[in-house]
Amino acid sequence: MTQHAKSWTLKPGAMTLADLRAVWAAPAKLILAAEAYPVIEASAAAVQAIVAKGDAAYGINTGFGLLAKTRIPDEKLEQLQRNLILSHSVGTGELLSDAVVRLIMLMKIGSLARGFSGVRPLIVDTLIALYNAGIMPAIPAKGSVGASGDLAPLSHMTLAMLGVGDVRVNGELMPAPDALAQAGIAPVVLAAKEGLALINGTQVSNALALHGLFMAERLLEAAMVTGALSLDAAKGSDSPFDARVHAVRGQPGQILAAQMYRQLVAHSAIRASHLEGDERVQDPYSLRCQPQVMGACLDLIGNVGRTLLIEANAVTDNPLIFQDGPNGQAEIVSGGNFHAEPVAFAADTLALAIAEIGALAERRIALLIDATLSGLPPFLVRDPGVNSGFMIAHVTAAALASENKSLAHPASVDSLPTSANQEDHVSMATFAGRRLDDMAHNTAVIVGIELLAAAQGIDFHRPLKTSPHLEHVHHQLRQKVPFFDADRFFAPDIEAAKQMVLQGELSSTCKNLFAPLYA
């Protein structure tokens, strides 16, 4: 995909994580590369040839799932595809966000446009038209087991193309027929195979996991910044970040994380003030072992990104049309690319990283409010006793860290057979990806509370300054949240800090420092 101003040219199978991040972050006009159309047309023609020949072919002129042996007459093939969408639109729960829906639509367009799914160009063009018009299908979050494709949520996506149900435009719900009419988009009538191609696939599971990935990247950046700030607030040592320590272990994420910590704390006057005469020999693990823990999280996040990018460019519906069959004829092949086990495993491992980022930050908050460990005023407030300071803010962090432990339990180890045991092992990838949003928000609050606590600690060391990077972060925070001089309504401060974490504000002025995360 190449970007031109506010438009994108999609080359099927060639998206990058940077492309996907951009689509997740903001809408932009989508253009399909011209070279995609001949292969789409050839695949659609192959389906029509199979229908004309009259042989039974799953999903083209048969029923679905356990009804695969039921032959459907040619005159009912359009009804078959429409009924498939209506009967499979059984989702429930809150609607997926526009950011996630954009990813779903983009990946479905890219998959269909690779020319193995047997749909007409009209289908791809209609999806692109909806996307470009900002018409986001109303997709309930719950109802998929992550195998046989994300059938229910993708059916809700397809409803919009038929002019059925609701959509969201500029954040407001409206009937799909009205939205399509206003945009000048004609509802489609699905031909043979097209409904099945639209709802088979892992795009919903993968979009949810990608959303979790991009949130995790921001959490990793923010927690490295707040961890460095806590180090200075507690007058910790930067010796554990020595490159030699990490080189002899050899873990790449750890080596990279240590390098980033060295840069974050470089030229700190607070550190310089206790280079000599400090009786402490070693810091607690939550300060000293940051490169080891965050480096491992960095490696996990990188591995997850590679898996999800492959899936984003993949063809995952069933059956597939191949043009290299016997005697040069098109051949339809049934397989199982809709099984989202790679996504489920990726989402489960990403959950570990998100939980651990928050767990380590919670431990640093506990350290900072403990005067015996940090050397700072108890609970980071003057006149403790009259003031409770950060006492209960830490309780909130502990509650969320504990909740994340439960949410981190792997979803992929569960399976419930469906479709009368035809679909007898499923991935649960959709829930595996969906729960990452809750976990990310929990961790964002924890890291936000650490930001407040560490900044408070820095203020107690004035007039000494921390490093230039961290002074800038401290200044950004103080533009929104003043020093905590006495007890006040604390929740708005925490929300402001959380939003700084989620919006990437803690690393906004030192993006070059974090660029290696995305190499």
Catalytic residue IDs = 58
Distance, CA of 352 to CA of 391 (rounded, Å): 27
* SS3 sequence of 403-464: HHHHHCCCCCCCCCCECCCCECCCCCHHHHHHHHHHHHHHHHHHHHHHHHHHHHHHHHCCCC
Residues 230/452, Cβ–Cβ less than 8 Å: no
Angle at which helix 98-112 crosses helix 203-233, to 10 degrees, equals 130
Q: Supply 43's token pair.
A: 């695949």
**375 CB contacts (<8 Å, ≥6 apart)?**
234, 235
Q: Supply 232's token pair.
A: 């200075």
How many residues make up the chain in this entry? 519
Strand partners, 175: 166
CB atoms within 10 A of CB 53: 9
**DSSP states of 280-347:** -----HHHHTHHHHHHHHHHHHHHHHHHHHHHHT----SSEEES--GGG--EEE---TT--HHHHHHH
Residues 338/146, Cβ–Cβ less than 8 Å: no
